[in-house]
Structure 1
């Protein structure tokens, strides 16, 4: 029995690793694709794209966030019982719901585009809204199939589908950008072409899932044929086992009737809807800018000028998203460890892991914010060709630290069983961002929106942290949390500023900006790491305690003589 449990655990860990890797690749592609988008299309196209995309993401989250998880849970339960009809019933019902949601969402996006654009405050958005609508016909259906295979503990189809979807989306986006820009199309049409890549990516992702489904059906049919004898063939010919011999979507209606379709639908919705609502909290802050910035910037020029300003505002956001992506990928490592300790009632172990996680992510966030803020101008020129909005980008860089804390505290709370609180705190942060945008943007423009973002994420991080400390009894050391990291940040700042002073006499060009940016990132990271390790902000034991990665990282640091032996 133990060997079987170990095999299941091993399969789950491998599946989690595959999905995590796919998530990292898709997020990286999604973040980095914004650079050619701005370079080819310009700030106007960039602004239109980034105004529409959060709204599209909200609809997509509603359609897909909770249902793959719900489908995988219900399929896994029936798979464990050997209930083939029950598995197909879940898939048939989920497929029906996904098709219905996809049709409704797509119709809303396409036919409601003029009304939505009017609500946001710019008619430039209509082509982009309509171009993103067809993706909602494909992606929700993929979600149902992904959930089915995840329920079978087969994560490969989901991973391949996600990466294919994102890669095709980005490739098609770039092709349309190049073609429409060379043809002299307007900014709104170019942005619409870029967003149409989502439909092509969604279709490609669905095609991958259908190919895996066809292969699975063939495998099931072959297994069934090999396991039955002549008498079973005769009984099947009479009709007693036709459904079992031919698993597929077509047999779903009978299965649903057998499992009381309404009860199954109710169970799926009860499980999926809370996950959907929790997932909505993250893109909601971006949606605040979608609905507020164009109107609040109305005194700053015509519609296209406003969209260009929104594009400049969004230049710094992909950099922060890279930091958040790193934090999200690393924070997952702590969830199973904390869950296990929580079950055992190991309070001391929980407090050690919390201290370690909070210190790691606070330091990563601080270093990222300081480095990106100090290098905002050369990074801006390197990525986006000019220095427009460098001051705003520097402000946006300071959202990296609270965003990293929001990510890790949410993961730690989930590991301890508090799933809804982080989502509620982000909803409060979104409401605060709305109020602060209204107060700051009319006076400060896009810089006001950046400052509002810092405050909103800081409040969400503080609420998460307060709940975490209250529930675990942890008492953080103020000196270790604030004073000593401040010294490491000052060392980083001194090194980066000296580099920028040394490079000041050089001719200003995109190549020089790229060299200063890359050298600045490497130098700043190295100086900060040495300062952290030499001041024992992180000890060898704490580095080694990092789940899964710690021992290898400690070995590397000792080779480089960056950490003192204990």
Structure 2
């Protein structure tokens, strides 16, 4: 997929698949939390940061390197070279992933007892270990397809992977009912079954297309394998550090937050329960809106790489600005809605009102995390891969220091962990943005803030006013759903009134873009 706005179509495809898979992953946690309780969710959530850290180590940023290098070769018409890069990278990933999977399996006891201080997590760590190898191979195929700007295979595999994972989780819940240790192990094994099905689909798609779409004529002088490996490592190494930081931030939460809550005076079980509410419930809702920006970031990397490799910096800036515009228009109302309805949403989804406490303080993180993801995608596409790594590392340091200090204050508690997360992402985003102003002066976010912020302010007032009246008439569940519907229409009307929503933004959506435009024009929502 190429062209001026091709990357937005690719991002929209990934966003749709990401929304479906992340929605499945988010909403299954509601019945899961009801069935196993806060302590069960906490045990389950403790294992995943270890898995993601090891996964980041094993993949080492190679999938993004594949995407960047394949995009460059494809832009040059060197399709043979693109396939050659993929094969070399696949071997690297397969070997590394296998070694790390074995290491995780053998080190499960140490990690559970010495790092997490929770011996019950040992079986869950062993259960998830094989997913390291499977996911490593799968990510290499995804990187290849994304480098070709063919997003459908990745999108379908994401939905398949998540669906099978969730099915496995509930099988474990019902088979091992009452045994939290076995439930956590069975639930984490869902990563194995899900990734296996996703990989099977990608292999089938690749074999089906390799003699047509992915084996086109185009030969240029080829680098030696040693040179290819070096190029892959040069791009992948800083990315591997960057990929490590986010899981390490989650691991920090898994280790630091429960221990600092205990220091604040909470019992062990209560600290685990609050941690489960913070990461497994509030954190899940915060991550849901950023699905779109993560998809934008993934699609931006090859799109920016293609433009910058040809010297089209104006086009690169145009694509980056389009992503910033979409990010602000979509994430500002999401953050405002989560802030205004934090407690009602928590009661509606989890029947636990206190989940609203960390959720309200985390809400602002939706915007800053999304903006960080998009700006990191632009920098990676320009081969400035080390910059977002350093910036996220600084943000992680801010989060660690604040979380360690604030969470142990009895009057602050879990709010401190939430505030620390938001400030960490804000720091990382601002540093990314300042870097972009140096390397790509055409990037500017100020021009996209005023109109959406005005619309969001009015929308938030309508939400707060409407909820109290709906609650008296129909109760919390109907009030929440009704207010969300009203908020969406109010925001669209405000966007139309300010001119913030444009036809070209909607037109880039895949499959239904033209139909949506006709509806929006008829309703007067776009110009």
TM-score bucket (shorter structure): 0.7 to 0.9
SS of residue matched to 1:562: coil
Relative distance call for 1:551 and 1:277 in structure 2 (3 A) is: farther
Tell me by how many angstroms 1:321 deviates.
1.1
Tell me by how many angstroms 1:161 deviates.
4.1
Q: Please say if residues 492 and 527 of structure 1, whose CA atoms lie closer than 8 Å, have aligned partners that are also in contact.
A: yes
Distance in 1 (alpha carbons) for counterparts of 2:142 and 2:317: 36
SS of residue matched to 1:407: helix
- Which of 163, 181, 184 matches 1:167? 163
Distance in 1 (alpha carbons) for counterparts of 2:491 and 2:4: 38
Distance in 2 (alpha carbons) for counterparts of 1:10 and 1:488: 26
Match of residue 322 from structure 1? 288
- Which of 16, 23, 37 matches 1:42? 37
Tell me by how many angstroms 1:324 deviates.
0.7
- Which of 468, 491, 513 matches 2:476? 513
Match of residue 489 from structure 1? 456
Distance in 1 (alpha carbons) for counterparts of 2:133 and 2:303: 39
Distance in 2 (alpha carbons) for counterparts of 1:215 and 1:357: 33
- Which of 465, 473, 481 matches 1:498? 465
Matched, 1:523 2:516: no
Relative distance call for 1:58 and 1:25 in structure 2 (3 A) is: farther
Q: Please say if residues 164 and 205 of structure 1, whose CA atoms lie closer than 8 Å, have aligned partners that are also in contact.
A: yes
Relative distance call for 1:520 and 1:118 in structure 2 (3 A) is: farther
Q: Please say if residues 293 and 310 of structure 1, whose CA atoms lie closer than 8 Å, have aligned partners that are also in contact.
A: yes
Deviations 1:273-309 (A, max 9, x none): 3333333344343232123112212244443322211
Distance in 1 (alpha carbons) for counterparts of 2:499 and 2:467: 27
Larger displacement relative to structure 2 (524-533 or 290-299):
524-533
Alignment of 1:269-348 (within 5 A): 269-299=233-263, 300-314=265-279, 315-330=281-296
Tell me by how many angstroms 1:553 deviates.
6.1
Distance in 2 (alpha carbons) for counterparts of 1:272 and 1:351: 24
Distance in 1 (alpha carbons) for counterparts of 2:297 and 2:96: 35
Tell me by how many angstroms 1:157 deviates.
5.6
In the alignment, structure 1 segments of 5+ residues that lack a partner are: 1-5, 224-258
SS of residue matched to 1:297: helix
Distance in 2 (alpha carbons) for counterparts of 1:92 and 1:339: 20
Matched, 1:199 2:159: no
Tell me by how many angstroms 1:331 deviates.
5.5
Q: Please say if residues 286 and 363 of structure 2, whose CA atoms lie closer than 8 Å, have aligned partners that are also in contact.
A: yes
Match of residue 414 from structure 2? 446
Deviations 1:27-46 (A, max 9, x none): 44333333332122211111
Equivalences, count: 508
Deviations 1:353-404 (A, max 9, x none): 6666545433433221111111111211221122133122111112112122
Tell me by how many angstroms 1:470 deviates.
4.0
Match of residue 364 from structure 2? 398
Relative distance call for 1:207 and 1:461 in structure 2 (3 A) is: closer
Tell me by how many angstroms 1:460 deviates.
1.4
Match of residue 64 from structure 1? 59
Tell me by how many angstroms 1:422 deviates.
2.1
Distance in 2 (alpha carbons) for counterparts of 1:362 and 1:29: 24
Relative distance call for 1:556 and 1:35 in structure 2 (3 A) is: same
SS of residue matched to 1:388: helix
Q: Please say if residues 288 and 433 of structure 1, whose CA atoms lie closer than 8 Å, have aligned partners that are also in contact.
A: no
- Which of 293, 311, 332 matches 1:366? 332
Rg larger for:
1
Q: Please say if residues 256 and 404 of structure 2, whose CA atoms lie closer than 8 Å, have aligned partners that are also in contact.
A: yes
Q: TM-score, normalised by structure 2?
A: 0.80
In the alignment, structure 2 segments of 5+ residues that lack a partner are: 216-222
Q: TM-score, normalised by structure 1?
A: 0.75
Aligned Cα root-mean-square deviation (Å): 4.3
Q: Please say if residues 120 and 295 of structure 1, whose CA atoms lie closer than 8 Å, have aligned partners that are also in contact.
A: no
Relative distance call for 1:543 and 1:117 in structure 2 (3 A) is: farther
Larger displacement relative to structure 2 (187-196 or 169-178):
187-196
Relative distance call for 1:545 and 1:371 in structure 2 (3 A) is: closer
Deviations 1:513-557 (A, max 9, x none): 3322222222223223323432x262x6x5536772498766544
Q: Please say if residues 25 and 162 of structure 2, whose CA atoms lie closer than 8 Å, have aligned partners that are also in contact.
A: yes
